[in-house]
Chain A
Amino acid sequence: MSSSRAAESSLLALNQQEELEDLPREYPLSTSEDEGDSDGERKHQKLLEAISSLDGKNRRKLAERSEASLKVSEFSVSSEGSGEKLVLSDLLEPVKTSSSLAAVKKQLNRVKSKKTVELPLHREEIERIHREVAFNKTSQVLSKWDPVVQKNRQAEQLVFPLSKQQSIFAPIEHVVSGWKARTPLEQEIFNLLHKNKQPVTDPLLTPMEKASLKAMSLEEVKMRRAELQRARALQSYYEARARREKKIKSKKYHKLLKKGKAKQALKEFEKLRKVNPAAALEELEKLEKARMMERMSLKHQNSGKWAKSKAVMAKYDLEARQAMQEQLARNKELMQKIQVASESAEEEGGVEEEGEPFVPDVVNEVQVKADRPNPWMFRNHSGDTKEAEVQGDPEELAEPAAQEAPESEEEGPVVAEEILLKEFEERRSLRQKSGLNQIAKPVGSQEAKDLSSQEVLSELRALSQKLNRESHQSRKQELSSTRTVLAVQREEPAGEEEEPLLLQRPERARTLDELEELGKEGCFQNKELPRVVVEGQQLERNPSNHLGVPKEKKRKEQMIDLQNLLTTKSPSMKSLAVPTTVEELEDEERDQRQMIKEAFAGDDVIRDFLKEKREAVEASKPKDVDLTLPGWGEWGGVGLKPSAKKRRRFLVKAPEGPPRKDKNLPNVILNEKRNIHAVAHQVRMLPYPFTHHQQFERTIQTPIGSTWNTQRSFQKLTMPKVVTKPGHIIKPIKAEDVGYRSSSRSDLSVVQRNPKRLSIRHKKQLKKNSVD
């Protein structure tokens, strides 16, 4: 403000508008100064004028000089009436009408419209402003380093030199070319070399070497390595798998595998025949070749060593015989000539392949029997055998059969059946689990133990049929209530076993009601009362339910316990209500005590302290040492204790220690554990960076040596903060090293180029700063 006014005052007083704006502010001031208390009327008049001039239009009336001024001076004209300077434009006002002065007026206007030039600042001031700006700029530029510096300060480890220098290979010819022989000795040597035409500047690097210098980038290497690794891993997986499969000793498995493969090959061949006949022909040729080979060789002729040994055994051993047969079959198969032409033949072959071709039926049967537990073989046979099995031995497949059987019988209401069956299952499992019902339990156990599974099956079937019937009936009724009705209907035959489950829901609701009631009553009644009431209610409501009682009781007790928790507040409420009835004098005291008691209801400080002290005394007492060895000189073992006599004999009584220092101080615990000798080695004050002693203790307690740590963690723990390489020059940090581009020069140069063209506002601000 002050600065702006000063600046204005320094301006030439040509700008009339500004002046006009300023006037009303100065007007009252000047009058009060000059006139003092001369006459109130005029003052009032002027005030009015001032107020009227405030309305934005800035009308201005020149005050008339109505009377002589008090201060009459011969040196100057008093402008007391107006209280302001005379301005050139004022004088020109009356000549407005005359047109002869238009040119003058124009000139004047031109002068007026010209902006005034600011007075140049002091040289020192300008320099200071420049310095200020430059400093701000520089410190701004410098603060780009903050993150880097911060990072380096906090770094776990700094390795110097920071930038890793790429070792540059300078080919020797480059080095040599820049060097000239100067001394006579050198010149002589060079002459010799030149005479012998030794290659001085020949390229000493072969193209291969150059290529190796330009090795592939790190990323490429990484990618390639990853690829290779993946390939290797895959290969190793396959190898492992193959090895594993090879290791399987089961002949059956291999046989099956082989068969599977043969089938697969056949299928593929079929497909190939359809798609690509030429390729199929080639395949056929291969087969033909195999046949030829087989015919030439004696491989499957039962003439090998193995076959001979088998032949010996064949008389007695069925398996051996089979094996021989198989070999022969194989021989036959391989020797068979393949007809290409007719489809029917192929079909036949296919059929033959499907049903195992060269083995007679009897053999096949035997195999089936032998392979009974084998899942692969089992899959091969069709549905009828399965049925036979189910009928034959129902123990094995009781449950699936049970599920399948009704399906086969009645296919209509499948969904309902399933639901019912599921429900039944659930009930059964629940019954078995809960074991609450005393009647249900024997039934369940009977079911489990006595009845054979076949009986169970029949029972199940009967039940499901019945249920089906019932479901048909119920479907006629409302759909929504089906399930519950069914459950009820089913109960009747089943007896009372489902009772607890059915009863559960209403009972729960009841207990909830009771809870609400209790909530109401709880404030006024004792906690024991509601239980009785509840029990009474309970008994009233289900007198018929004798069986469920014990369990229900348990549950009810639980509920009421919960209620207890809720109602524990009642005594305190009472105590607060009590004082109204007690006499007033004792009232306050007791009240306070009560209050304190209530406030510290949880913690009995004195007793706690006494307990603590007792514990401390106990802990500080020297302990007896028991040296008895169980089983030494007598029988020992689990549950046997050494005899009392022996224990007495080997018990070393600890000597009574010196009396405690706080023996006669009931309110004090003196810690006698402090070891004076250790104090010299202990840290007395918590050292600086730590805020809590536990932090410090923890750092001390974690060992860092290799005795207690693995090699890796030892290395990590003992990592030095700063690592320097011997013989390497550490250069000062550079913007390029950290990833900045050195653009600071350009921003600074901008400032330097036009330091005088700083905006006026900026300059003013700076000036103000400097004043402050």
Chain B
Amino acid sequence: MKVKMLSRNPDSYVRETKLDLQRVPRNYDPTLHPFEVPREYVRALNATKLERVFAKPFLASLDGHRDGVSCLAKHPKSLATVLSGACDGEVRIWNLTKRKCIRVIQAHEGFVRGICTRFCGTSFFTVGDDKTVKQWKMDGPSYGEEEEPLHTILGKTFLLGSCASDRNIVLYDMRQATPLKKVILDMRTNTICWNPMEAFIFTAANEDYNLYTFDMRALDTPVMIHMDHVSAVLDVDYSPTGKDFVSASFDKSIRIFPVDKSRSREVYHTKRMQHVICVKWTSDSKYIMCGSDEMNIRLWKANASEKLGVLTSREKAATDYNQRLKEKFQHHPHIKRISRHRHLPKSIYSQIQEQRIMKEARRRKELNRIKHSKPGSVQRVSEKKKRVVAVVK
């Protein structure tokens, strides 16, 4: 006769090794868990506060240049290598992991206007104010060799792709003889940068403190105007994921904008950083480099409160959860206030206030004009349309 007994499979409650986590049986019945929302709200609030506490984006400053840094370039193959050109014609190659300069080349007389690496990373080109283009080997001169360029192209500098001169943006197709189209904006455009993930989107850094994101197929209205800077924007670079971009400004700060938002999500500044001339987002999308007037290259984290280094899986899960919580409760007033809080230097702060007043006055004036003129005679022009002066075919 068989006796029936209660039996349990030990596999369901005994862990295999002592390093395994203890299995915790859990009842997910929602009636047993009241106060889910308040508890998550508190967690979100804490996460937001902690994010602000840990937001320390500044990593390192690379000094060595003897004049303002005019241009930066990334190595296409190696994450740790960065090239920089200065206003005195000096080109330096840096190793980011060691935070040291590996090589110094006196490339030009006068400004180094641009640096560009070859796609394979074996050599790079520099353009200088002395009307020459030079090609250099990426590796240092081997034993017994002289430090000299591979090729030098003298004469007039040829234009590879022009973006801005007299307040307009011209689009070229390199495969054709003619330019494609030209947009004239209010003021001069300093740089444009193409979105690496969206082939027809580019962003222009303008002198009028704003950045304009265009779809190149419809140039008459920008897709988005990004405004937060209080001085001319000098440089812009996309993150390799194509979701954000960073802009360097004359107002001694750099800002990070999401592509689809008109306001920046982050502003970086230090007391010693002067007008930022060039900025680059590293190709692993983790760091940002900026070269400024006071001869330094600074390295920042792209995500201010991110923990660097290897994360355990639990840490990763926690950060993901916190991120999601912040997103979920982002509209709640307390959380919004804390997450938006940034310390700004006094000059920038006061300029922001001033510009807000100016903008408000302009708006008021426009409204008044509409109010006191014959209805229909004064049309309201949208902000986006206002910025584009003309599109030349």
Interface residues of A (CB under 8 A from B): 127-128, 130-132, 134-135, 138-139, 142-143, 145, 149, 152, 158, 160, 182-183, 680-684, 687, 696, 699-701, 703-710, 714-715, 717-720, 722, 724-733, 745, 748-749, 751-752, 770
Contacts and interface: CB of A to CB of B under 8 A. Distances in A.
A681 B333 contact: yes
B157 interface: no
Given A131-B180, A149-B199, A183 B325 contact: no
B43 A705 contact: yes
A439 B36 CA distance: 66
A730 B283 contact: yes
Nearest to A730: B240
B177 A752 contact: yes
B198 A145 contact: yes
Interface string B258-285: 0000000000000000000000000111
Nearest to A182: B143
Nearest to B33: A708
Contacts of B324: 704, 717-718
B22 interface: no
A707 B217 CA distance: 49
Contact of B199 (A127, A142, A158): A142
B284 A727 contact: yes
B362 interface: no
A745 B176 CA distance: 10
B341 interface: no
B143 A183 contact: yes
A705 B177 CA distance: 59
Counting chain B CB atoms within 10 Å of each CB, the highest count among A182, A705, A717 belongs to A705
Interface of B: 28, 30, 33, 36-37, 39-41, 43, 76-77, 79, 142-143, 171, 173, 175-181, 196-201, 216-217, 240-243, 283-286, 317, 320-321, 323-325, 328-329, 331-334, 393
A720 B320 contact: yes
B33 to A, nearest CB: 6
Given A160-B241, A703-B37, A718-B320, 13 more contacts: A131-B179, A135-B181, A138-B180, A138-B216, A145-B198, A182-B142, A700-B37, A700-B329, A704-B40, A710-B28, A729-B284, A730-B283, A748-B173
B197 A683 contact: no
Contacts of A152: 197-198, 242
Contacts of B197: 149, 152, 732-733
Given A681-B332, A729-B283, A720 B28 contact: no
B167 to A, nearest CB: 19
Contacts of B30: 708
Nearest to B335: A681
Contacts of B329: 700
B79 A729 contact: yes
A707 B198 contact: no
Contacts of A727: 79, 284
Contacts of B177: 752
Contact of A718 (B181, B216, B321): B321
A134 B171 CA distance: 11
B40 A731 contact: no
Nearest to B282: A729
A182 B139 CA distance: 15
Contact of A704 (B199, B200, B241, B321): B321
27 contacts: A131-B181, A135-B180, A138-B180, A139-B200, A139-B217, A145-B200, A149-B199, A149-B200, A149-B201, A152-B198, A160-B285, A681-B334, A683-B332, A700-B37, A703-B40, A705-B39, A705-B43, A707-B39, A708-B30, A724-B241, A729-B79, A730-B196, A730-B285, A732-B240, A733-B198, A752-B177, A770-B393
A355 to B, nearest CB: 36
B317 to A, nearest CB: 7
A681 B334 CA distance: 6
Nearest to A690: B331
Given A182-B142, A704-B324, A705-B40, A134 B196 contact: no
Nearest to B38: A681
A132 B393 contact: yes
A136 to B, nearest CB: 9
A183 B333 CA distance: 67
6 A-B pairs closest in CB distance? A732-B196, A730-B240, A139-B217, A703-B36, A687-B331, A718-B320
Contact of B284 (A138, A149, A730, A733): A730
A699 B324 CA distance: 12
B173 A708 contact: no
Nearest to B177: A752
Contacts of A709: 28
A125 B388 CA distance: 24
Contacts of A720: 320, 323
A127 B331 CA distance: 53
A75 B201 CA distance: 67
A727 B308 CA distance: 12
Given A680-B334, A683-B332, A722 B286 contact: no
Contacts of B331: 683, 687, 696
B149 to A, nearest CB: 21
Given A683-B333, A707-B33, A718 B285 contact: no
A709 B324 CA distance: 14
A142 B200 contact: yes
Contacts of B79: 727, 729
B333 A699 contact: no
A246 to B, nearest CB: 14
A131 B178 contact: yes
Contacts of B241: 158, 160, 722, 724, 730
A732 B242 CA distance: 9
A183 B243 CA distance: 47
A722 B327 CA distance: 14
A142 B216 contact: yes
